[in-house]
Amino acid sequence: MFTDFLVWLVCFFVQGALIGMVMYALILLSDLENDFMNPHDASAGINRWVVPEFVAQSSFAALLILRFEWIAFPLHTALALWNARQYLKKRHKTDVTEIFRQLPREKNMRIAKLAFYLISFIYCIFRVVDTAVNGLMSPEARHTAHQLFQDAAASF
Supply the pLDDT for residue 16: 95
Structural domain count of the chain: 1
- For the stretch 29-75, pLDDT in tens is 999 999 899 999 999 999 999 999 999 999 888 888 888 878 788 88
- pTM over the 0.75 mark: yes
Supply the pLDDT for residue 1: 64
**Helix 50-66 vs helix 2-33: angle between axes, to the nearest 10 degrees?**
150
Mean pLDDT of the chain: 89
Supply the pLDDT for residue 155: 77
Q: What is the mean pLDDT of residues 89-98?
A: 87
Range of the domain at 111: 2-154
